[in-house]
Amino acid sequence: MGGFWCEAITTTAMATRVQTLALLPLFLLFSPAPAADSISATSPVADGQTLVSAGGVFELGFFTPPASTARFLGIWYKGIAPLTVVWVANREAPITGTAASLAINGTGSLVLADRSGRPFWSSARSNVTSSTPVAQLLDSGNLLLQDASGTGSVLWQSFDYPSDTLLPGMKLGWHLATGLDRYLTTWASPGDPSPGDYTFAIDIRGVPEGFIWYNGTAPVYRNGPWNGLRFSGEPEMAPDNGNFQFEFVANGTDAYYTFLVDDGGGGGNVVSRFVLNQSSLQRYVWLQQQQAWSLYWSLPRDPCDGYAQCGAYGVCDASASPMCCCPAGFTPASPREWALRDGSAGCARRTRLNCTGDGFLPLRGVKLPDATNATADASVSLDQCRQRCLANCSCLAYSASSIKGGESGCIMWSSSLIDIRRFESGGQNLFVRLAASDLRMDLLSSRFNLLIIISCSKFSCYSKDVHRINARSICSHK
Ligand SMILES: *[C@@H]1O[C@H](CO)[C@@H](O)[C@H](O)[C@H]1NC(C)=O
Ligand SMILES: *[C@@H]1O[C@H](CO)[C@@H](O)[C@H](O)[C@H]1NC(C)=O
Ligand SMILES: *[C@@H]1O[C@H](CO)[C@@H](O)[C@H](O)[C@H]1NC(C)=O
Ligand SMILES: *[C@@H]1O[C@H](CO)[C@@H](O)[C@H](O)[C@H]1NC(C)=O
Ligand SMILES: *[C@@H]1O[C@H](CO)[C@@H](O)[C@H](O)[C@H]1NC(C)=O
Ligand SMILES: *[C@@H]1O[C@H](CO)[C@@H](O)[C@H](O)[C@H]1NC(C)=O
Ligand SMILES: *[C@@H]1O[C@H](CO)[C@@H](O)[C@H](O)[C@H]1NC(C)=O
Ligand SMILES: *[C@@H]1O[C@H](CO)[C@@H](O)[C@H](O)[C@H]1NC(C)=O
């Protein structure tokens, strides 16, 4: 999810630029203002005043976005122009007319209110109360509200309530014990921080994976289950990238993604932010010499990133024309639309499944299908996974849940396989249940089942002739 070497042209250029950036220590370039980094119950921040983190990296204060006259309380990079806001408090309640201030009230909540006491925003209620609360802006960009005495327990932190930006160390996803769901919500427009139409969130209904949603209801993009190295749908995400470290945690208490940047043993910091910008995910890095943000990585890469581009059982291949094809044993569900290059109806089975006599067709090098209804078990081998799937008539496909150090673990699907795409490299193996008769025909046509690699070929994708489809296979074998 952002921040890895592009495989194509930009690799060397990017490498050089990020390295030059890493040589320049941030703290030498920004002279820390003598401003305070904390507020307590007796020292609010009024409009016009700011907090600056101890190392001079981030600043908190009031700002007016370009397309607005209203005031918002936000956090931005100190010393980076133009103003790059990473968090906004009162997104849903712009302050108009009167000046407001941020204070800590009698029960230890942060409250943004105007002089008459009218509240525009307050930090979420905490079960922990504190008589000595203090809010501190950290060099990570986190505004941390904690008890200044004794335990120092965290009452609230801005990192738990992201706006449109994920900073290094922020968690995108769930703390299951408390039901806390951290997700990104776009700005309504570049000049308006009120919540926009798109969100990027970790879905934990089945095997955890990230979705961009439109209006909270329509999936726009899915990054696929974490496979031990990366998200299944983001093969270019290199685990050993020198500048970034990516982590995904999914256990009984947490399900989240996070990234860290190299803290630059040589004394420099890579400055990077990950943003949901309308329907696009973007990772930016700050180029100190150019004094500019550089777009390091972004989505969508091609039309196959669009959710369910080729419908159920369809496979999207961005390097082929047409892009949609059906795996062996399937034919276009709606041949008329398919012929007009609308693959959204997907593919239908040629032969109904017959539980006992079925087998599996391997699809190599793909992004695993939508896993919201899938189940995972990391404790079994891929072979045991196959046996489990075969023994359960409602299992329609399986794959390894991890490819770290070889294929292991088990994901099983029991509803239609949606949103599969093929990658030139870095994809995974998906084993799709087929009736024995279809598998036999497939064996005949490809001679060697294990070598099936799918890809679309110009003519086979569109053929309505079952025999020709079968002879060439709809997704052709290489
Ligand atoms: C402090 O603010 C919180 C959140 O708005 C509110 O629930 C609480 O009642 C306030 N406490 C006082 C003493 O006003
Ligand atoms: C706070 O207390 C309420 C009611 O007792 C409980 O339902 C909730 O889970 C608690 N929240 C946290 C964050 O502990
Ligand atoms: C957004 O979702 C709501 C339901 O959550 C629905 O009523 C509304 O029509 C949707 N708007 C658009 C533009 O899809
Ligand atoms: C889940 O992982 C997080 C982060 O590593 C850890 O803090 C937490 O204790 C883990 N929970 C369980 C149940 O292992
Ligand atoms: C959103 O993307 C556009 C270009 O696609 C860029 O100009 C703009 O700065 C981005 N917004 C943010 C918050 O990075
Ligand atoms: C299922 O397939 C097996 C083996 O091919 C065959 O013996 C059996 O009759 C089939 N059952 C049905 C219900 O078609
Ligand atoms: C078969 O798979 C379905 C769907 O995952 C599951 O609900 C069911 O419990 C499984 N049956 C057995 C016998 O494992
Ligand atoms: C998951 O199951 C629900 C309920 O059966 C169904 O409506 C939905 O389409 C399924 N989603 C996927 C991706 O298969």
How remote is the CA of residue 163 from the centroid of ligand 3, in Å? 21
Residue 122 confidence (pLDDT):
95
Residue with tokens 């979420």: 124
DSSP-based three-state secondary structure for 318: coil
Cβ within 8 Å of residue 199, ≥6 positions away = 183, 184, 185, 186, 212, 213, 216, 276
Report CA(354)–ligand 6 centroid distance (Å).
Answer: 6
Strands 420-422 and 315-316: parallel
Atom of ligand 5 nearest to the CA of 298: 5
- CB-based contacts of 190, cutoff 8 Å, min separation 6: 66, 67
Structural domains in the chain plus CATH codes:
1-31 (no CATH), 33-161 (2.90.10.10), 162-300 (2.90.10), 305-469 (no CATH)
pLDDT in tens, the chain (478 residues): 543 332 232 333 333 344 434 433 444 344 444 569 999 888 899 999 999 999 999 999 999 998 889 999 999 999 999 999 999 999 999 998 778 999 998 888 999 999 888 999 999 766 667 778 899 999 999 999 998 876 778 899 999 999 999 999 999 999 999 999 999 999 999 999 999 999 999 999 999 999 999 999 999 999 999 999 999 999 988 766 778 889 999 999 999 999 998 765 544 578 999 999 999 999 999 998 999 999 999 999 999 999 999 999 999 999 988 899 999 999 999 988 888 888 899 999 999 998 888 999 999 999 999 999 999 999 999 999 999 999 999 999 999 999 999 999 999 999 999 999 999 999 999 999 999 988 876 655 544 433 333 444 433 343 333 333 333 335 654 4
Asked if residues 135 and 143 have their Cβ atoms less than 8 Å apart, the reply is yes
* Cβ atoms of residues 186 and 276 within 8 Å: yes
Radius of gyration of the chain, Cα coordinates, nearest whole angstrom: 26
Query: d(Cα 173, Cα 177) in Å, to the nearest integer?
Result: 12
Confirm if 180 and 160 have CB atoms less than 8 A apart.
Answer: yes
Report the separation in Å between the CA atom of 197 and the middle of ligand 3, taken as the mean of its atom positions: 10
Give the DSSP H or E segment for 339: helix 335-339
Measured from the CB, is residue 215 less than 6 Å from ligand 3? Answer: yes
Q: Is the CB of 420 under 6 A from ligand 8?
A: no
Quote the distance between the C-alpha of residue 178 and its chain's center.
Answer: 22
Closest CA to 296 of 9, 63, 4: 4
Which of 90, 102, 104, 107, when mutated, tests ligand 1's pocket best, judged by the most ligand atoms within 8 Å of its CB?
107
**Is 373 close to ligand 8, i.e. is its CB under 6 Å away?**
yes
- Residue identifier of the C-alpha nearest atom 11 of ligand 6: 354
Q: How many CB atoms lie within 10 A of CB 377?
A: 13
Pick the residue whose CA is nearest to atom 3 on ligand 4: 254
Which ligand does the CA of 293 lie closest to?
5
Residues in the chain: 478
- Among candidate residues 280, 170, 167, 298, the one with its CA nearest the CA of residue 214: 280
CB 321 within 8 A of CB 458: yes
Nearest CA to ligand 7 atom 3: 394
Residues with CB under 6 A from ligand 2: 127, 178
Give the ligand with the smallest distance to the CA of 216. 3
Cα 392 to ligand 7 centre (Å): 6
